[in-house]
Structure 1
Amino acid sequence: MKTGLIGAMREEVLLLKNDIENLKTEQFGSREFYSGTINNQELVMCLSGWGKVAAASTATTLINHYQVDQLVFIGLAGSVQPHLNIGDIVVANQLIQHDVDLSRLDGFPTVESPFWKTFAFDVFPHSGEKAIQAVDKFVLNLRKGSYPKIHSNYNPAVYVGAIGTGDQFIASKEGKVRINERFPQVLCTEMEGAAIAQIAADYQLPCTVVRVISDKADEDAHDSFAKFLFEDISHISVELAKLILS
Structure 2
Amino acid sequence: MKTGLIGAMREEILLLKHDIENMKIDQLGSREFYSGTIGGKEVVMCLSGWGKVAAASTATSLINLYGVDQLVFIGLAGSMQPHLHIGDIVVADRLIQHDVDLSLLDGFQDVDPPFWKSFHFEVLPDAGKRALDAVKQFTVNLKEKKYPGISNTYQPQIYTGAIGTGDQFVASPEGKTRISERFPEVLCTEMEGAAIAQVAADYQLPCSVIRIISDKADENAHQAFAKFLFENISRISVEIARLMFV
Assess if the C-alpha contact under 8 Å between 1:23 and 1:36 holds in 2.
yes
Task: Report the Cα offset of residue 115 of structure 1.
Answer: 2.3
Partner Cα distance (2:61, 2:28) in 1: 8
Matches within 5 A, 1:24-39: 24-39=24-39
1:232 is displaced (CA, Å) by 1.6
For residues 95-244 of structure 1, the aligned pairs below 5 Å read: 95-107=95-107, 108=109, 115-244=115-244
Q: What is the letter of the counterpart of residue 223 of structure 2?
A: D
Alpha-carbon RMSD across the aligned residues, in angstroms, is: 1.2
In structure 1, how many angstroms separate the alpha carbons of the residues matched to 2:110 and 2:126? 30
Matched residue, 2:245: 245
Contact 1:110 1:117 in 2 (8 A): no
Aligned-partner Cα distance in 2 for 1:50–1:59: 13
**Preserved contact between residue 111 and residue 117 of structure 1 (Cα < 8 Å):** no
Q: Distance in 1 between matches of 2:177 and 2:221?
A: 15
Distance in 2 separating the partners of 1:111 and 1:60: 25
Which structure 1 segments of 5+ residues have no match? none
Counterpart amino acid of residue 218 in structure 2: D
- State the distance in 1 between where 2:27 and 2:61 align: 11
Distance in 2 (alpha carbons) for counterparts of 1:131 and 1:47: 19
1:123 Cα shift? 0.1
Q: Tell me if 1:16 matches 2:26.
A: no
Amino acid at match of 2:83: H
Match of 1:93 in 2: 93
* Aligned amino acid, residue 220 of structure 2: D
Displaced runs of 4 or more, over 6 A = 109-112
> What TM-score does the superposition give when structure 2 sets the normalisation length?
0.97
Structure 2 CA distance for aligned equivalents of residues 121 and 110 of structure 1: 22
Is it true that 1:4 corresponds to 2:4 in the alignment? yes
SS in 2 for 1:74: strand
Query: Contact 1:11 / 1:233 at 8 angstroms: preserved in 2?
Result: yes
1:47 matched to 2:75? The reply is no
CA distance in 2, matches of 1:245, 1:30: 27
Distance 1:27 1:111, change over 3 A: farther
Q: State how far apart, in whole Å, the 1-side matches of 2:103 and 2:244 are.
A: 37
Q: Quick one: which amino acid aligns to residue 122 of structure 2?
A: D
Q: Using structure 1 for the length normalisation, give the TM-score.
A: 0.97
Q: Distance in 1 between matches of 2:56 and 2:112?
A: 20
Distance in structure 2 (CA, Å) of the matches to 1:100 and 1:77 = 19
Give the drift of 1:153.
Answer: 0.8
* Structure 2: runs of 5 or more not aligned: none
* Cα separation, 1, equivalents of 2:243 and 2:232: 17
